[in-house]
Amino acid sequence: MNARLLIPSTLLALLCGLSCHAQMNNGTNAPVDENPKPTWETQKQARTFQLGIPAPRGQITDRNGYPFAQSRLSYNLALQFPSPLDWKDAKVISFARQQITFAKGFLGRQITVSDQAVLNHYRNRGLLPLALLEDLRPEELAAARRGLTSALVLQQVYARFYPNGELASHIIGYTGKEAPLSIRPIENKDLIFTESQGREGIEQTFDFQLKGQPGSVHVTYDAEGNKTSERIAHPPIPGDNVITTIDQNLQRICEKVLKENCKRGAIVVIDPWTGEIHAMASWPEYNPNHFVPVLNPQIYKQLSEDPATPLLPRAYRSAYPPGSTFKTFVGLSGFQSGKLTAKDTYNGPQAIDIGNFTFHNWKKYSVGKLNFVEALTQSCNTWFIQVGIKVGAPSIIEWTTRLGLGKKTGIPLKAEAHGNIPNDDYMLRVQKRKILKGDVANMSIGQGDIIITPLQMAQAYGVIATGGQFHQTRLVKQIQGIDNKVVAAYPDRVRDDLQIKPEDLETLRQALIAVTEDGQGTAHHAQVKGTKVAGKTGTAQWGPMNKQRTAAWFAGFVPADHPQYAFAAVYEGESGDNTIHGGSHAAPLIGKMLQEVYGTKEADQSDGKEKPSDDSN
């Protein structure tokens, strides 16, 4: 893939008011020495500056080369002071105000530049244009071209552009301008205009690779401050392109489903056989184009004060109690430790006392003896509490940790949440005691101090989908140069192998299919015609008691027989809303997403059996 970011032949001339064909003051076209070795008499009078030319940033693309972020040419209206730079402050201000007033007239737009900013620029960087208005709109550019003078010039710079707007904004991030250099005198190797730097997401993590290498222009001035020559020593080298693992079409589907069905939430879709993230959507989102060239204060206020926190990437920076989705991992821990088999049965009473606390099943009656498939299908709390206590905290902690829970996945994005699988060290630090029986009971139904990110959840179900092969989760495939050569690659590697026994894997698969297809299951809204979906719902409360909210989950893999994707969806409920459940709110998110991927959803067929909307924890 070629970024095809070319530098126009007129670009540098417009940037600095420079002529790309240096001429002597006497009008001749004779070549000049652009790097003179000054004698004792001339070194105080003449000077050659070697200034940097920022490079266009490389592209960020999806797995197929479709761009998420590009560089474009942008036009600033700038004020060019005449040389030599020997005016008094009053004259500088008068000249600047006169030109600014004229510019306001033909643009019909307010221009806000303080007198102090004008003076700072004149004293320190007066050889270069002072930007008055950045990133002119097309109609403003047309008006500016008609009103240009020797003092009002167009400064051509590079600006970031996000062609898909909000799409994948929490992954791609945004850029911001580096601090201006007008507080000190111009020096060699200073840039002729401020370049952008990554502030969030891929833009931030791969800022060095995306930024490219600045070019160099040599400009010579005589003793009177008149330019005598200029030469482009070497042009800038555009930045490398970052190729992500994201599938733009699947990402768009996930964001559309979230937008139409929830106020806050996330969906993650992973290829379990490679660890590649194909979609990682958080809702609500934001438009990174609003950060170009600088973030409008009103937009920032709106984003920062929005109670839905659109700047928060919920898919990997928010962690939630997993509720009943964690029961799958309790069962796996039992199988792997040899303390549970597919034939083992336990009673499922309506309630069970552990210590001084009574744990309730979401059904208001005893469900009798159940095996693992039946218990997971019905999401029986009391069954899993008994099994969890038998399996024990050490085994649950060991196997859930090997699934990647409670630690960062390692994707190249800042501030990824760790999540938490509580162990004795954690409990001693936080609760001043080791894990007790009641803690294991809580853990067995995904409550207590367990928190998991949607990304970790999809990753863990992906490990189950492959029969225990844990492929390192990846967000970036490779980095390519402008010539299409691969600069760096991030190949598939197996991080761990849990070696789930085939008979245990089949038991897990049957149970997860039953959750969506059996009459006693809780995820009928995730069904898709012609495709078996394996998954588990979950519902959990989190936050302070007076503002407690519900996290509704659905996680699994599809197709169940030959998994192509592992997924996780979380739906954030409003404070005090007790109607939110995994089956009624999270499972439909995945169902609607899979309808787009695999086809039309089959209508629910009533068979007269009880079809609960979801488990309550």
| Residue the block writes with tokens 């990846």 | 474
Q: Which helix (H) or strand (E) holds 394?
A: helix 393-402
Percent pLDDT > 90 in the chain is 76
Lowest mean pLDDT among 18-32, 465-479, 486-500: 18-32
What is the model's pLDDT at position 46?
67
**38 domain-assigned:** no
Same domain for 453 and 547:
yes
Q: What is the pLDDT of residues 526-574, one digit of tens each?
A: 999 999 999 999 999 988 878 889 999 999 999 999 999 999 999 999 9
Q: In 351-475, at which residue ranges do the beta strands (DSSP E only) sit?
A: 351-354, 357-360, 369-370, 469-471
CATH of the domain at 227: 3.90.1310.10
Question: Cα separation of 88 and 100, whole Å?
Answer: 19
Say if residues 325 and 457 touch (Cβ distance below 8 Å). Answer: yes
Shared domain check, 236 and 133: yes
Let me know if residue 188 belongs to a domain: yes
Token pair of 218 as six digits: 């040599």
**Rounded to whole angstroms, how far apart are CA atoms 532 and 556?**
11
Considering the domain architecture, whether residues 261 and 184 belong to the same structural domain is answered as no
Same domain for 192 and 267, yes or no, is no
- Same domain, residue pair 132 and 164: yes
Q: What is the mean pLDDT of residues 455-469?
A: 98
Q: Are 498 and 470 in contact (CB under 8 A)?
A: yes
Residue 450 lies in a domain: yes
Does residue 488 carry a pLDDT above 50?
yes
Backbone angle region of 308, left / alpha / beta, with phi > 0 → left and psi within -120 to 50 → alpha: alpha
Distance CA(445)–CA(301), nearest Å, equals 40
Domain span including residue 146:
11-25+53-244
* Amino acid making up residue 245: T
471 and 525 in a common domain: yes
pLDDT at 7: 35
The total domain count for the chain is 2
Q: What is the pLDDT of residue 229?
A: 85
Structure tokens at 244: 């992500």
Nearest to 394 by CA among 470, 346, 336: 336
Task: Return the pLDDT at 3.
Answer: 36
Position 70 scores a pLDDT of 97
The answer to whether residue 142 sits within a structural domain is: yes
For residue 489, is it within any domain?
yes
Closest among 214, 232, 234, 231 to 52, alpha carbons compared: 214
Same domain, 295 and 219: no
Is there a single domain that holds both residue 352 and residue 215?
no
Kindly indicate the confidence band of residue 23, based on its pLDDT and cuts at 50, 70 and 90.
very low
Question: Does pLDDT of 601 surpass 50?
Answer: no
Q: Where residue 576 falls among pLDDT bands split at 50, 70, 90?
A: confident
Neighbours of 42 (CB within 10 A): 13
* CA-CA-CA-CA dihedral for 380, 381, 382, 383, to nearest 10: 50
Q: Are residues 252 and 240 in the same domain?
A: no
pLDDT digit string, tens, across residues 160-173: 999 999 999 999 99
How many other C-beta atoms can be found within 10 angstroms of the C-beta atom of residue 117?
A: 14
pLDDT for 615: 53
Question: Does residue 34 sit within a domain?
Answer: no
Return the percentage of the chain with pLDDT > 70, whole number: 89
Strand partners, 232: 217
Cα distance from N-terminal residue to C-terminal residue, the chain: 48
Q: What is the pLDDT of residue 193?
A: 87
Query: Which residue, 146, 123, 132, 68, is CA-closest to 99?
Result: 132
pLDDT band of residue 49 (cuts 50, 70, 90) is confident
User: Is 616 contained in some domain?
Assistant: no
Looking at residue 278, what is its pLDDT? 98
Asked if 224 and 259 sit in the same domain, the reply is: no
Closest CA relative to residue 337, chosen from 498, 484, 223, 558? 498
Q: Are residues 326 and 466 in the same domain?
A: yes
Neighbours of 183 (CB within 10 A): 10
Residue 581 lies in a domain: yes
20-34, 124-138, 399-413, 422-436, range with the lowest pLDDT: 20-34
Amino acid 30: pLDDT: 40
Same domain, 382 and 457: yes
Residue 178 Cα to chain centre, angstroms:
21
For residue 39, the model assigns a pLDDT of 41
SS3 263: coil
Amino acid identity of residue 134, one-letter, is E
Domain boundary among 244, 273, 288: 244
Structure tokens at 106: 């033909």
Confidence of residue 45 (pLDDT cuts 50, 70, 90): low
Domain boundary pick from 197, 224, 244: 244
The last residue of one of the domains, among 244, 271, 291, is 244
Three-class secondary structure of residue 589 per DSSP? helix
